[in-house]
Amino acid sequence: MSGLLSTFSVMADDFLTLKLTGIDASLTQNIEAHLGTLPTSQVQRRAFIFNAEDNVNAALNSLGYYHGEVAQDVQERPDQPWVLSLDVTPGAPTRIEWIDLHFDGEILEDTFILQWLDKIAIKPGDILNHGKYELVKSQLITLALARGYFDGKYVQSSIQVNRDANTAKITLHYDSGSRYHMGEVTFEGDGLQDGFLDTLIPFEKNSAYSTGSLSRLNRELLDTSYFSNIKVLPQVDKAQGLDVPIKVELSPKPSHSIELGLGVDIGNTAGSDNELEPRISINWRTPLLNSYGHSLETSLEWSPDRPKYLSTYTIPLTHPLDDQLKIRFGMLRDKYGVNQVYDPNEHKYNNTGELEASKGLIAVIRQQRLKDNWILSYSVEAMKEYYTQSETDYAPKFLLFGTSISKTIRGDNTLDPKSGFFQYYSIEYANPDLGSAIQLTRIQTKYKWINTFFDKHRIVSRLDLGVNLADDADLALIPPSLRYFAGGDQSIRGYSYQELGPYIDYTTEGGDSARQVVGGRYLMVGSLEYQYYVTPTWRVGTFIDAGNAFDVNQIEPIVSVGGGIHWISPIGPIKLDLGVGLKETDTVDRPWRIHLTMGAEL
């Protein structure tokens, strides 16, 4: 009891000051809750003092202390708050001797309920807590209703207390009755073809009832992006036998939605003195074009050197979400690498720009979700890209046949997952006999792994590999968008986006020596990052990035290190990192860079 007697609590207002001694923090909190708010008038003060001892004993009893003693003292002070002192001696606690928990009905065969039994918050030997007892009772009722035991009831629920022996016996007898089943699902207000949404139902008719299954149906409907409001309503009162009909009320989204974005890229241009690049984006969505579930999304982005247009028409095939045909059309201009001219006076290369490329494309893609959440896609893409390399103009055409498969495993559904693993594999092929400028085989694989140790220590690692198989004589005809570059916040931090890679030397028309980073046919980039949570919403991190894009005759590994601070915001992590390159290349003389990124890492 010496530990308990050290606790002292004070509550005060204009009419009464309350002092509690002799009890620990949990008893103090419970007693204060039973006493209620302090009085705000003389009449309330008299009532508060009169009922104080009874309320203290009720608080002690609720936590299993039936032999408590309360020494009450009132100090009346004119023109000052009175002082009510309560010295509480809890006495010996009442402990649970045994628990008789008995089930009848179909709930005996429900493994989910049996797993819950292993985790209940009361067990023999614990100090009796009426709150925990009521919590277990309500948890069982809630779980039973969620699992479809609508006729379930307690046959007996009681606590028998032996105050002389300071023991208690808990009896809970629950009869679940029969478990109800999923009945027919009907959709209202969707405007789609009859039966179109049936493939989204994640359960079979007459399967066991579960609110988890209804939540999955709600999530599937939400993922279609067709509806602004979704209500999944089990109609228990209209059950036919044990079958519960499910009514789904849907409200379509507006026919069109337009999102406008304004922003600026800071320091993302490797080869220009202009470090600020404004951006304007417009995203136009038509979520439901017709009763067959077709949709259209068009994105427009303008920046001084990187305008883009991309439109995607989506046609559901055998499943609205898991099997889709996408027809994509786009025109865009982008920049890669860095252009440099040699200054013989200063004996160094000066940046003069980047490798610019303009591209038009049309593609047909089929994307399917397989078992175990693998995403399989195969595509045909026709493209033509215009670019100038070493002052020579190119405009090769390609007809690319490709396939990819990927899978993401997340330890939780938050925007900052504690664990996870991502893997991606793809292959693309082009052949002159099929309409392409050269024969090309393009292979890529990507991995990302996340794990958290001891709650606060998080590891994030990634590995990107790529290869272009083509004849040496055809390398210049591989468009920049199909080559491999390194650099940037998703590659090697400390360097600009895609400024690293193999280069070629040439002489300009003016006779100057020049160098151009044109990208490579191989890519190998890896990263390892350690992060520590200072608070649940703030963490610090340190990293090492390594690798490069390269050719057989140009292998130049780059390593960068750095660290930063991350805020876990409601929209996902916002990371401010400083990267420092450990090697200054012939084409890059800026060995440090600040990176600001947003969004989930997986």
Question: What average pLDDT score do residues 353-362 get?
Answer: 92
Q: What is the pLDDT of residue 273?
A: 46
Q: What angle do CA 136, 137, 138 make, to 5 degrees?
A: 95
Contact 31, 95 (CB under 8 A): no
Closest by alpha carbon to 418, among 452, 367, 387? 452
Q: What is the pLDDT of residue 5?
A: 42
Distance (Å, rounded) from C-alpha 132 to C-alpha 121? Answer: 7
Winning range, highest mean pLDDT, from 115-119, 321-325, 554-558, 579-583: 321-325
Q: Where are the alpha helices (DSSP H) in 16-128?
A: 25-35, 42-62, 111-117
Contact 375, 368 (CB under 8 A): yes
Three-class SS state of 310: strand
Q: What is the pLDDT of residues 159-181, one digit of tens each?
A: 999 999 999 999 999 999 999 99
Q: Do domains 95-175 and 330-598 have the same CATH topology?
A: no
Q: How far is CA 554 from CA 16, 50, 443, 500, 522, in A?
A: 83, 90, 20, 12, 10
Q: What is the pLDDT of residue 324?
A: 97
Three-class SS state of 56: helix
95-175: CATH, from 3.40.50.970, 3.10.20.310, 3.30.70.1150, 3.40.109.10? 3.10.20.310
Contact 558, 495 (CB under 8 A): yes
Helix count (H) and strand count (E) of the chain?
6, 29
The secondary element (H helix, E strand) that includes residue 298 is strand 295-302
Q: What is the pLDDT of residue 390?
A: 84
Parallel, antiparallel, or unpaired for β 243-252 and 181-188?
parallel
Q: What is the pLDDT of residues 320-340, one digit of tens each?
A: 999 999 999 999 999 888 888
Domain ranges of the chain: 9-89, 95-175, 181-252, 330-598
Sheet holding 8-12, edge to edge: 8-12, 16-21, 82-89, 69-75
- Judged against a pLDDT cut of 90, whether residue 354 lies above it is answered with no
Q: Lowest-pLDDT range, 276-290, 421-435, 478-492?
A: 276-290
Question: What average pLDDT score do residues 576-590 get?
Answer: 78
Which of the four pLDDT bands, split at 50, 70 and 90, describes residue 270?
low
Domain 9-89 -> CATH class:
alpha beta
Query: Which tokens hold the place of 73?
Result: 């003292």
User: What global pTM score does this model have?
Assistant: 0.81
In the beta sheet, which residues pair with residue 447?
423, 463
Query: Which tokens hold the place of 602?
Result: 């997986």
The answer as to CATH 3.40.50.2300 being correct for domain 330-598 is: no
Distance (Å, rounded) from C-alpha 481 to C-alpha 510? Answer: 28
Q: Lowest-pLDDT range, 22-26, 206-210, 216-220?
A: 22-26
Q: How many residues does the chain have?
A: 602
Which of the four pLDDT bands, split at 50, 70 and 90, describes residue 571?
confident
Place of tokens 């140790």: 453
Phi then psi for residue 219, to 5 deg, are: -65, -40
- Judged against a pLDDT cut of 70, whether residue 2 lies above it is answered with no
- Judged against a pLDDT cut of 70, whether residue 586 lies above it is answered with no
Distance (Å, rounded) from C-alpha 273 to C-alpha 394? Answer: 26
Sequence-separated (6 or more) residues with CB below 8 Å from residue 102: 172, 173, 174
Q: What is the pLDDT of residue 333?
A: 93
Q: What is the pLDDT of residues 464-519, one digit of tens each?
A: 999 999 999 999 999 999 999 999 999 999 988 888 999 888 888 888 888 889 99
Q: What is the pLDDT of residue 307?
A: 92
Sequence-separated (6 or more) residues with CB below 8 Å from residue 487: 270, 495, 496, 497, 498, 499, 500
Q: What is the pLDDT of residues 287-319, one digit of tens each?
A: 999 999 999 999 999 888 789 999 999 999 999
The fold adopted by the segment(s) 181-252 is: Ubiquitin-like (UB roll) (3.10.20)
Q: Which residue has the higher pLDDT, 180 or 571?
A: 180
Contact 279, 264 (CB under 8 A): yes
Q: Which residue has the higher pLDDT, 220 or 345?
A: 220
Q: What is the pLDDT of residue 338?
A: 86
Three-class SS state of 36: coil
The secondary element (H helix, E strand) that includes residue 369 is strand 348-369
In the chain, % of residues over pLDDT 90: 74
In the beta sheet, which residues pair with residue 563?
542, 578
Closest by alpha carbon to 575, among 602, 544, 596, 601? 596
Place of tokens 């006493």: 35
Contact 435, 397 (CB under 8 A): yes
Q: What is the pLDDT of residue 4?
A: 41
Parallel, antiparallel, or unpaired for β 167-175 and 95-104?
parallel
DSSP characters over 414-475: SSS-SSEEEEEEEEEEE-GGGT-SS-EEEEEEEEEEEEEETTTEEEEEEEEEEEEE--GGGG
Query: Mean pLDDT in the chain?
Result: 91
Distance (Å, rounded) from C-alpha 478 to C-alpha 68? Answer: 86
- Judged against a pLDDT cut of 70, whether residue 268 lies above it is answered with no
Closest by alpha carbon to 365, among 406, 317, 397? 317
Query: Which tokens hold the place of 456?
Result: 């606060």
